[in-house]
Structure 1
Amino acid sequence: MALKKDLKQKMISEIDGNKNYISVEIELQYQPDLIHLLREEINYIGQRFYYKSKDYKLEMCGIGYLLEARYSHLEHDEIYEYWQNIKEQLNTMVFHEDKHHLKFFGGFQFSEHSLTNEWKDFGMSHFVLPKFMITKENGRCYLTYTDHSHKFDIDNIEEILNIVESKAQARTVSEPKMVANKDIQSEEWKALVTKVVALMNESVALQKVVLARRRKIEFQDNVDVEDALQRSLDSNEASYLLLFESGKSQFISQTPEQLCQIENGKLYTNAIAGTIARTEDESENNILKDELLNDSKNQFEHRYVVDSIIHDIQSFTKQLEYDKKPTILTNKHLYHLYTKIQADLLSENVLEIVNQLHPTPALGGFPKVEAIKFIEHEEFGTRGFYGSPLGYIDLENNGEFIVSIRSMLVKGKTATLYSGCGIVKDSNAISEFEETDLKFKPMLKALGVM
């Protein structure tokens, strides 16, 4: 589809090339299929991202990376300053009645302990500015095109419009042929659980630690990440859904957990810790929910997370509000204990807040420093983006970051799945292993193998 002649002329007349970058945005009068768009944009594989919020109010994808801020260390302040500098060099124009929706997307790996070979395609700190971006928000849809001023070409908008407007062909998602499915160091992981439980019963220095484990699945053909995203969407989970690509690596997370949201000077976050399996029998589920709400181990674990978050945000917030008792968060396969927390912010640097909050005890442990030390020295493998903060910052320094649990790293024909659970002094290695098995389910279903 071509741009309307009068709109094209208006764009050309208003474009100002006195800054290094130009970003133009138009509103679309329809709701395109973003998974279809990703499937069609094969020339940009390795330079794409996708993000859907838990409440479905925001869905977006980025095609092509105009700029990448990539560091070999955790550089929260440097990433934030990089974005502020880019904004000063950016001429933004909107040809509709709403705000400009450009976003700086990315995240930080779990810790700096090691950057092993499987994560080499991603930086320890890694954010991208998309060349093309489609944003579906609150029932409206926008196309954003951003480029260097000397390369900016209105015709590029028409090219992406042709792809956006092409109809997705009816296709049958075929079952992938799996050739291997193996837990990585499962017996060693159980032994590590037993070890840390013994340490906790000998000393109060470490009161909770989250231990992650992995499962490797190999297929006859390359993993189709668009099919994986579509299966995740079709599951109707009350979860965020995210894809982040770099080089030959593709990271996917379908997580219920938000780290934080910053909006107009307010911080919104939550504590999710304490888990029990959900069944298909609603009367039994009611019993399970009561059991979770009254279980001392889960309540103990949840209270740690709440207290830690409140401690971490007190220095840069005021007017702190939170529920004194947890409620139940319902997902397709699990129930979680949930506490909503909000406060007024004293800082506008969303990445400073991300740094303070990560990792919560739900992904690290308590006390935080001791738990992270144990994880870095004792856990098998590198977490990479598992359990890490991923999300975006917008032009007004608002943003949202998720905690990327229920996740996998895809490389060609191989998918490495990640899950973890909180270990406290009365944990049992077999029970915790079974809990992590449950937490593999979203990615197994996304891959089409269950």
Structure 2
Amino acid sequence: MLSDPIQAWSEAAFPRTLLWDDAGVAVAEGVAWDASASGPGRGLRLARALGRLEGSRGSLPWVMGALAFEDAGPAASPWGAVPGARLWLPSRLRIQREEVELDQIEGELRSPAKVAPVAWTHPPHGFKDLVEDAAGLIREGAFRKVVVARAVDHHLPADHRDDVALARLKANAGTGACVYAQDLPDGALFLGATPELLLAARGSVVETHALAGTCAASDDEEIDLARVGALVASTKERKEHGLVVEHLVAGLRPRCRPFAVEASPHPRRCGSLIHLETRIAAELTDPDYLDVIAALHPTPATCGLPAAAAASWLARHERLRRGLYCGALGWIGPASCRAVVPLRGALLSADRTLARVFAGCGVVETSDQQLEYEETELKLALVRRSLRVGHG
């Protein structure tokens, strides 16, 4: 059905969504129904809207979902009219995975009118100073961890093609990454290749993972073994990782029967990077996937801990609207769900002349501002190479 996912996405009607990982692929096109919500309680309002849709149809259809990092509504930024959270029923949705083969058609495809894109501005915010400020506040007890992000704007080459960039992302990202692409209302495109799974569910069985702690990978096995040894031995990296595990377990525990957490993290290679990963599996007492996503997002891998305090501080000091970067993107069906955290991504302007590339780093009390900056450069490099911009 989907022998060439990128071609299928390229030929789909606007707006389009692509999610492609080792387990399968989903391509959505058009909009037959949608609901959006912003501000506190956005997840609850979407759950109610989804319930009304299910009631009007007699059963729950397969829907797509996107959650922005910020719960606030649209603001003057390159993200344009992206709301805090959105569910939509595509005019056509094709999903091909081990457990499902779906071709859902919901009516005539149509292309919404595009609006003029917002002018791009990204005021310099002294990234290294922000890292140092965050580390100082953690030492004072204000937080336990904060994830600070930065964005770099690049001019795209004149011969840029979205499909070619997606193919490069797939080739560069390594095993286990999910290549994603999401059209925005004004014609801009958010695309990338993320290693981070937020939630995978089949019936009541759910899986997630903690992915935190980073070092560069090489082509030399001995060098990589030494780097992994240093990563595993690092008190800073292990603490950063452990906080993510703690958060995920706390979010799942009241919603699950006994679940399994790996005893210790293992290294996972993701293209040119190596991360620490801990896998978690559980069985839900009530398979309410939206509720679980709301409980897990944002994780300390993308925001901080405590999440509310970290998000509030970032909103005041980061001076960067993350939009769908560090949010959630995925699909929900009658008895299954899959959502990823869109990392290693870039926002391409509607006219495909500019690319804003995003990266972040986890800050704890012992973080070094130069090392954290270098980590963001490693993460930016994957996307830069795939888009042929900058010095990636």
Once the two structures are TM-superposed, the CA of residue 438 in structure 1 deviates from its matched residue by: 0.6
Pick aligned residue for 1:405 from 330, 343, 346: 343
How far apart in 2 are the matches of 1:230 and 1:416?
19
How far apart in 2 are the matches of 1:312 and 1:428?
30
Match of residue 117 from structure 2: none
* Structure 2 counterpart SS, 1:135: strand
Cα–Cα, structure 1 residues 140 and 338, in superposed 2: closer, same or farther, change >3 Å? closer
2:205 is the counterpart of 1:245? no
The C-alpha deviation readout for 1:274-304, integer Å capped at 9, x for no partner, is 1111111111111111111111110111111
The C-alpha deviation readout for 1:203-232, integer Å capped at 9, x for no partner, is 123221100000111235485322221211
Cα–Cα, structure 1 residues 277 and 128, in superposed 2: closer, same or farther, change >3 Å? same
Match of residue 95 from structure 2: 135
* Structure 2 counterpart SS, 1:373: helix
The C-alpha deviation readout for 1:124-170, integer Å capped at 9, x for no partner, is 112221112233323986533222xxx7xxxx9xxxxxxxxxxxxxx
Q: CA RMSD in A?
A: 2.5
Assess if the C-alpha contact under 8 Å between 1:183 and 1:216 holds in 2.
no
Assess if the C-alpha contact under 8 Å between 2:146 and 2:305 holds in 1.
yes
Partner amino acid, structure 2, of 1:249: A
* Structure 2 counterpart SS, 1:121: coil
Once the two structures are TM-superposed, the CA of residue 91 in structure 1 deviates from its matched residue by: 7.7
Once the two structures are TM-superposed, the CA of residue 319 in structure 1 deviates from its matched residue by: 0.6
Query: How is 1:297-446 mapped onto 2 (pairs within 5 angstroms)?
Result: 297-396=236-335, 398-411=336-349, 412=351, 413-446=353-386
Stretches of structure 1 lacking an aligned partner (at least 5 in a row): 1-27, 93-99, 157-181
Pick aligned residue for 1:232 from 165, 169, 172: 169
Assess if the C-alpha contact under 8 Å between 1:213 and 1:420 holds in 2.
yes
Match of residue 447 from structure 1: 387
Query: How is 1:199-238 mapped onto 2 (pairs within 5 angstroms)?
Result: 199-201=137-139, 203-219=140-156, 221=158, 223-235=160-172, 237-238=174-175
2:51 is the counterpart of 1:84? yes
TM-score between both structures, scaled by the size of structure 1: 0.77
Cα–Cα, structure 1 residues 429 and 263, in superposed 2: closer, same or farther, change >3 Å? same
Match of residue 58 from structure 1: 24
How far apart in 2 are the matches of 1:222 and 1:216?
18
Partner amino acid, structure 2, of 1:407: G
* Structure 2 counterpart SS, 1:430: helix
Assess if the C-alpha contact under 8 Å between 1:222 and 1:414 holds in 2.
no
**Stretch of structure 1 that moved more, 61-70 or 420-429:** 61-70
Q: Percent identity among equivalent residues? A: 23
TM-score between both structures, scaled by the size of structure 2: 0.88
Assess if the C-alpha contact under 8 Å between 2:361 and 2:376 holds in 1.
yes
Match of residue 35 from structure 1: 6
Match of residue 124 from structure 1: 84
Larger Rg computed on CA atoms: 1
Stretches of structure 2 lacking an aligned partner (at least 5 in a row): 110-119
Partner amino acid, structure 1, of 2:174: E
How far apart in 2 are the matches of 1:356 and 1:197?
26
Cα–Cα, structure 1 residues 431 and 291, in superposed 2: closer, same or farther, change >3 Å? same
Partner amino acid, structure 2, of 1:417: V
2:17 is the counterpart of 1:49? yes
Cα–Cα, structure 1 residues 67 and 256, in superposed 2: closer, same or farther, change >3 Å? same
Aligned residues: 374
Higher-strand-fraction structure: 1
